[in-house]
Amino acid sequence: MAKKVLFIYPSGSMGVYSRSKISVAISSIPYISLASLAGAVLRAGHEAKILDLAVSSDYNKDVQEALASFRPD
């Protein structure tokens, strides 16, 4: 039976740069480690989703929406 797996990358220290000019250089691409893990889950026949909170402006809302819409196991 296929499972749904939600990977969450927490916001961490990226907020430190949010008010500086360096914020334009912050990537919105998920980190390769999360993409690698999600790829392994997909190859095993399961569903995977990555929620990257480093690029989120409202963490609580984004997590709640991901849980409600994707409904991970």
Write down the pTM of the prediction: 0.74
Q: In this predicted model, what pLDDT tens digit does every residue of 37-71 receive, in sequence order?
A: 999 999 999 999 999 887 788 989 999 999 999 99
Decide: 49 and 41 in contact? Cβ < 8 Å.
no
Q: List, for residues 2-48, the tens digit of each pLDDT value.
A: 999 999 988 765 555 566 666 555 555 557 889 999 999 999 999 99
Neighbours of 5 (CB within 10 A): 19
Q: How far apart are CA 55 and CA 62, in angstroms?
A: 11
